[in-house]
């Protein structure tokens, strides 16, 4: 019998160099334009941390026509079994998927494309040990979520459509998987009951953005600006790697959205 690969175990990662146009990236709250030099420095540290965690990282070239293209997780999903090319919800990001599709074909034998006209962002997708959760949001609608369920079934994954809290950009803006049985979440998302029997650690009030952490093998990447969350995770026994995100956060970045991660068997 083939041993099941833990969902937090990865050895292969795709990332993309930030474009100079990222200073014009989308944002829900205007905190000013990010510094391109600052974004580049933060992105390099991010890639270095992924490599240190034991992964081979392929960094794709920048796409200057697409300010938000550094967020490679939104136009695609990847699994050991194959990849899915999505249709991002933001109109200015729709064509990013076309640039991602040939890259995925180089790494996966099976590459599916989201059918129909609905849209779905990878930032709304949380994989747990037994299913894939699809959060409805301003970037993922019901038609796209239902179409995605069909693609996931073809790859052998069960799925569930859930609701993202009002005013939250992506489902994973408010949560991340820490272990097979544990999620990190904001209080507002956990209160909805979407996580069922999963153990839930709540980020401290005022550090809601810290919920978008990233578990990669033996470490958890967390924004360095969230000291109480970092302390909580360390006390819970996790090896935490704090990363600077001061600039990239100005364009709605989270740690999960800047990479596509899978275990290449």
Q: Which residues are annotated as a binding site for substrate?
A: 26, 68, 73-74, 93, 139, 251
Alpha carbon distance, N-terminus to C-terminus of the chain: 15
From 43, 55, 151, 170, active-site residue: 170
Q: Is 252 exposed, middle or buried (0-12, 13-18, 19+ CB in 10 A)?
A: buried
Q: Would residue 113 show up in a list of annotated catalytic residues for this protein?
A: no
Residues in the chain: 265
Write down the residue that tokens 């859930």 correspond to.
Answer: 162
Write down the residue that tokens 């009030």 correspond to.
Answer: 205
Q: Which of 177, 5, 152, 111 is nearest to 161 (CA)?
A: 152
Q: Would residue 175 show up in a list of annotated catalytic residues for this protein?
A: no
The sign of the CA dihedral 103, 104, 105, 106 is positive
List, in order, residues 6 or more apart from 197 with CB less than 8 Å away: none
Binding residues: 26, 68, 73-74, 93, 139, 251
Residue 122 near residue 77, CB atoms below 8 Å: yes
Cα separation, 178 vs 196, whole angstroms: 15
Residue 87 near residue 39, CB atoms below 8 Å: no
Cα separation, 201 vs 198, whole angstroms: 10
CA distances 250 to 103, 139, 167, 168, 232, Å, are 28, 18, 17, 15, 25
Active site amino acids: 170, 257
């Amino acid at each position: 019998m083939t041993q099941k690969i833990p969902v937090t175990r990865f050895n292969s990662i795709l990332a993309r160099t930030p474009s100079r146009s990222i200073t014009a990236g989308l944002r829900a709250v205007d905190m000013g334009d990010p510094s391109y030099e600052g974004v580049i420095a933060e992105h390099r540290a991010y890639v270095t941390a992924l490599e240190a965690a034991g992964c081979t990282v392929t960094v794709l070239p920048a796409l200057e026509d697409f300010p938000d293209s550094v967020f490679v997780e939104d136009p695609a999903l990847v699994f050991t079994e194959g990849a899915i090319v999505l249709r991002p919800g933001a109109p200015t990001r729709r064509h990013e998927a076309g640039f991602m599709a040939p890259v995925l074909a180089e790494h996966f034998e099976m590459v599916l494309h989201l059918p129909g006209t609905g849209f779905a962002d990878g930032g709304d997708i949380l994989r747990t040990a037994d299913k894939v959760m699809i959060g409805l949001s301003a970037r993922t609608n019901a038609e796209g979520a239902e179409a995605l369920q069909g693609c996931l079934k073809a790859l052998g994954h069960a799925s569930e459509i859930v609701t993202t809290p009002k005013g939250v950009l992506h489902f994973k803006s408010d949560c991340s998987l820490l272990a097979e049985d544990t999620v990190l979440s904001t209080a507002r998302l956990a209160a909805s009951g979407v996580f069922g029997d999963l153990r839930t650690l709540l980020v401290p009030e005022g550090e809601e953005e810290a919920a978008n952490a990233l578990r990669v093998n033996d470490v958890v990447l967390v924004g360095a600006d969230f000291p109480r969350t970092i302390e909580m995770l360390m006390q819970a026994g996790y090896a935490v790697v704090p990363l600077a995100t001061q600039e990239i956060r100005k364009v709605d970045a989270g740690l999960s959205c800047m990479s596509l991660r899978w275990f290449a068997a």
